[in-house]
Structures are given as structure tokens and as C-alpha cells.
A and B are shown apart, each in its own frame.
Chain A
Amino acid sequence: NAGVMQNPRHLVRRRGQEARLRCSPMKGHSHVYWYRQLPEEGLKFMVYLQKENIIDESGMPKERFSAEFPKEGPSILRIQQVVRGDSAAYFCATSSSYEQYFGPGTRLTVT
């Protein structure tokens, strides 16, 4: 996990609020992946980005969720109007080849 930073580590939001999760890749990595883990489940792919481009968002819910990876700064996963079902651990991973290295995750709790 060394090098991939995620913040915040814990985030509590009330229903209807917005959640912003940040991911700073390892040095030299230009590929960012976001995954979500629900309790007792494996990680589920959400979106794959390279700098300024969304490559694959097939795992993203159609509404309320968006992601970006700007030229400067971290990748951001944004969830608008959160609902209880959004409560989960959100992990980002970065890579320069096949192996993906994960950050420590953000645990989102919606109350």
C-alpha cells in the first residue's frame, strides 16, 4: 500500500449530502481505479481513469456518482445526494502495468 494515499479515511454523511473521496497515486503511476467493497463482499470495480480521461466507467452507478483525475492533483470520486446504500469502503488503486497497488480506503457511513 505504500505510496497510494486516500483521504479522508473515514467520512460520515447524512442522507442527501455530498461525499468527496480523494486518491493520490503512487509516484509514476498514471492509471487510477476505484473499487467499492460492501460488507462481506469482494471489491467491485467502479471506474478506471488516466490523466484527464475516463477510460472505463462501466461499474459506476448511472446517477449521483462521478469521477475525475485532473492534470494536477488527486483523483476524486464524488457521490451526490448520498443514500444509506452508499455506505461502504471505497478503495482506489493505481498502476503502471498489471499489478494494482491499493490505498488504505475511505470508509463512508451514511446516517
Chain B
Amino acid sequence: DQQVKQNSPSLSVQEGRISILNCDYTNSMFDYFLWYKKYPAEGPTFLISISSIKDKNEDGRFTVFLNKSAKHLSLHIVPSQPGDSAVYFCAASGNYGGSQGNLIFGKGTKLSVKP
């Protein structure tokens, strides 16, 4: 039973264009959401997060949008750069029955940004 779903295993985007990565969740008790970026043979790197009391958080080229009613969040990267090519993981946390801080991860979306 997957509580955090990233339905697109891969995404290819042209350099300079917008990349939109999507994530859906099922547990309404999640109250904090994070995006991580991962290169091969490295650990995940924290990118950006959003609390459930907000619907948008922006940090440079990265913006996360949260739609609580739809249980959906998305990460926008604009403009996309070849160095953004990596696997992106969506993660959720909160007082859902697990310990506070225990992250539930999606399976990831592999982003390829072509020059």
C-alpha cells in the first residue's frame, strides 16, 4: 500500500524549459512534504519542503505547490538545466501514526534535461 506515489518514472525536458514533477499521497494526516534530488551512488539531497498550512513555497528556480484537497503536490523547476538531471523523490511526514519525522518516500521520477 503506497502512501506516496510518483506515477511518472521518467521525464525528459529541454534545457531552459519548465520541469514539472508530480506526487500524490493518500494519507490526510501527512502535514509536511519534502523533495529530494538524488544522483547515482550518492545520498538524497534535500531541495525544498512545504508545510500543509501553505500552498506554495519558492526557493530560487524551485517551487513546490501543494493542493491539499486533491492530495497532490508538484515541484516546478524553471528554467531547467542539464545539471538538474537526477532522480527526484517526493517524501511526506507528519503525525499519521508513524513517528514524527519518519519520512515516507515515493519511488522517484528520473528527470533528464537535454541541452
Interface residues of A (CB under 8 A from B): 1, 4, 6, 31, 33, 35, 40-45, 48, 55-56, 58-59, 91, 93, 95, 98-105, 107
- A13–B41 Cα distance when bound, in Å, is 19
Q: Which residue on chain B has the smallest CB distance to residue A1?
A: B43
> Known: A43-B105, A55-B99, A58-B98. Is A101-B93 also a contact (CB below 8 A)?
no
Q: Is B103's CB within 8 Å of the partner chain A?
A: yes
Chain A interface mostly? strand
Number of interface residues of B (CB under 8 A): 25
Partner of B45, one of A1, A35, A58, A59: A1
Residues of A within 8 A of B104 (CB): 45
Residues of A within 8 A of B44 (CB): 43, 91, 102
- When the two chains form their complex, are residues B107 and A42 in contact, meaning their CB atoms are under 8 A apart? yes
Partner of B43, one of A42, A59, A91: A91
